[in-house]
Amino acid sequence: MKNMGLEQLCLVQPRYFPHGDADARASGAEDILQSATVADSLDEALRDCVYVAGSSARSRTIGWPSVEPRDCAHRLLEHGRRGPVAVVFGPEKSGLTNEHLDRCHALLTIPADPEFSSLNLAMAVQLVCYELRLATVGAVAAEFDSGAPLASAGELELFHRHLEQVLVRSGFLDPDNPRHLMRRLRRLFARALPDQNEINILRGMLASLDPDRDKGSP
């Protein structure tokens, strides 16, 4: 991260932190560790983010919008002008789960040789950081954007929960098996990148259509 000019590191439920081994391996980048934040959950870590890419090499049953590192870096810079953005990496042995990717706008994949596609976590992080560095060096200053801020990950998560509750109460969604349909709906809204005004409109629509709205909103 320090080689490529990145500073903001967030660790989600680290097994050991701080730790002497990490300090020893930082080798001049101790300030990255000292300023790192620790979150109890991925939702907490991403609460304010307006665009999130989840890195994974695993194939998925439900297709996620996918980007490669170079395209992803440009998207992160573009959306970063409107709020915090993030790249999420999973544990080296297991990677990200579908539930983790539910919190992401896109699946970040590295186009390695399919016959030998495994990269360790450090190499994957370095490659993405390098592409971010290239994109930053070559970036052209953007014109002022007077539009509404993009909805944050936290605002989107509240909307998804509200949507699921209303769909269950209306009878449209099977309360015993909501995940498959809700995952597809999450992908739809992730592609749309709604802003805060649009999310407020959608939640207002849900509130007015809710069959149990007189019993209190979610």
Report the distance separating Cα 58 and Cα 97, nearest Å. Answer: 9
Mean pLDDT for 18-38 is 93
**Fold adopted by 153-215:** Helicase, Ruva Protein; domain 3 (1.10.8)
The DSSP code sequence of 147-166 is: SPPBPPHHHHHHHHHHHHHH
Cis peptide before 91 (omega within 30 of 0): no
Longest dimension (CA), the chain: 60
Scanning the structure block, which residue is given the tokens 């609460």? 47
Mean pLDDT to the nearest integer, 171-179: 84
Closest CA to 157 of 138, 129, 185: 185
Residue range 85-136, pLDDT digits in tens: 999 999 888 889 989 999 999 999 999 888 888 789 999 999 999 999 999 9
| Domain boundaries defined on the chain | 10-137, 153-215
Residue with tokens 């395209």: 71
Mean per-residue pLDDT for 148-159?
Answer: 93
Tokens of 94: 């297991």
Dist. CA 28–CA 19, nearest whole Å: 16
Strand partners for 12? 39
Lowest-confidence pick of 27-36, 55-64, 91-100, 119-128: 55-64
In the CATH scheme, what is the homologous superfamily, with its name and number, of domain 10-137?
SPOUT methyltransferase, trefoil knot domain (3.40.1280.10)
Q: What is the pLDDT of residue 164?
A: 93
178-208 confidence digits (pLDDT tens): 778 999 999 999 989 999 999 999 999 999 9
Decide: 142 and 81 in contact? Cβ < 8 Å: yes
CA distance linking residue 7 with residue 154, whole number of Å: 22
pLDDT of residue 217: 46
Q: Does residue 46 register a pLDDT over 80?
A: yes
pTM over 0.95: no
